[in-house]
């Protein structure tokens, strides 16, 4: 049995940060009901659908991935009758997740203070760019805004004149992950207190948290760190190097690793007592890494991975996506899974990294068509009869696929 089986999540999210949080909860077994606008659905339903390389049977890569294991109910939340339907659904829910701009949920009357009148034990979570309080709370934000504002871009890349965002959208994905942490914490708290609560997640807050020890280094020294590419500010050699046919990462963080590397590479000029300790290697970083790069360029990445791994020296290839997704370790860990499409066929995508001894992963269900589960949810969960549901469909308060 999956660990969150029996937990019901109402997912009001769009784009990336919120849907990613909902996907993680759904992967862990929560019944995740995506509430979407009648007619249009959530905005990522149409993202990439016109690109044949990145879509499959009318669904793009965003929606296919982020909405697996979810159900879809289409409700017009801007109508009085639609809001009543939503409130009825909240009576049977544990969590409500959204990533609307600050003020939107209050305007729609679906904020925490409104929902606890319907369900006093409800847990709500809002993901916003700058949080729901503070002088800049109303500013719009997206992933790169969060990365830039939070300081991370200032240390990414090779020099301070060309700030560089992370290739992975860590602003949005980080916000989604911390939303899950907050939600799970609130569920545990409710077990003892019997009370729900509201969780306020800011993409900026998350980026500041992820600065971690580097932020403390700045507050201690008063100095702003500079981007240093793939090198390390303490350990040498700890960098990317060129091989005959690609690139390789070597990460020497102990003197024992250094001794082993000297034996593998057999470079006379590196057998210097000044390099035996980390401090001496750091002072001579450019010299050391230039010699290593020259040596590594003589053979293929595969050759060096074999001999370095045999010597237990931390190393890795710089894989492209196809290499990473076909790696034997990735496959063994079930990190590339096939998810069915509601119209038939399947799509390969990343799996669930949370491996639990007593909770097998199970299968991944398809992302839903718009309103695919409207009848099911209103009838089986909320107790609406068929006549009432058909009346709501006719009035366009709800829709069903």
Positions marked catalytic: 172
Please name the residue ranges forming H helices in 317-396.
321-325, 328-332, 374-376, 386-394
- Rounded-to-integer distance, Cα 296 and Cα 237, Å: 13
CB distance 389 to 398 below 8 Å: yes
- Rounded-to-integer distance, Cα 281 and Cα 19, Å: 45
Which contiguous run of DSSP H or E holds residue 261? helix 255-265
Query: What's the angle, vertex CA 131, arms to CA 191 and CA 19, rounded to 5?
Result: 70
- A 10 A CB-CB count for 55 gives 19
Determine the 3-state secondary structure of 257 from DSSP.
helix
- Rounded-to-integer distance, Cα 8 and Cα 183, Å: 12
Q: Which residue pairs from 238-243 have beta carbons closer than 8 angstroms and sit at least 24 positions apart in sequence?
A: 239/289, 240/318, 241/289, 241/292, 241/293, 241/296, 242/293, 242/296, 242/297, 243/296, 243/297, 243/299, 243/300, 243/301, 243/303, 243/304
């Amino acid at each position: 049995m999956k660990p969150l089986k029996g937990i019901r999540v109402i997912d009001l999210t769009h784009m990336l940060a919120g849907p990613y949080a909902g996907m993680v909860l759904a992967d862990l077994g929560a019944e995740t009901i995506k509430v979407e606008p009648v007619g249009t659905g959530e905005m990522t339903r149409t993202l990439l659908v016109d690109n044949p390389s990145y879509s499959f049977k009318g669904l793009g890569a965003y929606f296919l991935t982020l909405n697996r294991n979810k159900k879809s109910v289409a409700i017009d939340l801007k109508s009085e009758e639609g809001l009543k339907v939503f409130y009825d659904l909240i009576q049977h829910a544990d969590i409500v997740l959204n990533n609307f701009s600050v003020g939107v949920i209050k305007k729609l009357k679906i904020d925490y203070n409104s929902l606890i009148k319907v369900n006093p034990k409800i847990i709500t979570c809002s993901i916003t760019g700058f949080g729901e309080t503070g002088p800049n709370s109303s500013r719009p934000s997206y992933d790169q805004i969060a990365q830039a504002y939070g300081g991370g871009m200032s240390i990414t890349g090779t020099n301070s004149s060309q700030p560089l965002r992370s290739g992975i959208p860590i602003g949005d994905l980080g916000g989604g992950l911390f939303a899950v942490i907050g939600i799970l914490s609130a569920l545990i708290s409710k077990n003892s207190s019997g009370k729900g609560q509201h969780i306020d997640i800011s993409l900026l807050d998350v980026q500041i948290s992820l600065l971690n020890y580097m932020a403390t280094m700045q507050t201690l020294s008063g100095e702003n760190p500079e981007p240093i590419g793939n090198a390390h500010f303490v350990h040498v050699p700890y960098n990317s190097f060129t091989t005959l046919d690609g690139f390789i990462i070597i990460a020497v963080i102990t003197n024992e690793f250094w001794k082993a590397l000297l034996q593998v590479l057999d470079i006379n000029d590196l057998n210097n007592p000044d390099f035996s300790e980390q401090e001496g290697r750091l002072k001579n970083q450019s010299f050391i890494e230039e010699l290593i790069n020259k040596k590594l360029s003589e053979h293929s990445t595969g050759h060096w991975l074999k001999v370095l791994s045999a010597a237990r020296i931390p190393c890795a290839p710089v894989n492209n996506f196809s290499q990473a997704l076909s790696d034997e370790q990735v496959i063994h860990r079930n990190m590339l899974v096939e998810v069915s499409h509601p119209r038939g066929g399947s799509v390969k995508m990343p799996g669930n990294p949370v491996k639990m001894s007593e909770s097998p992963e199970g299968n991944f269900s398809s992302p839903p068509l718009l309103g695919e589960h409207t009848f099911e949810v209103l009838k089986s969960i909320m107790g609406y009869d068929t006549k009432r549901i058909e009346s709501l469909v006719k009035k366009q308060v709800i829709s069903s696929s």
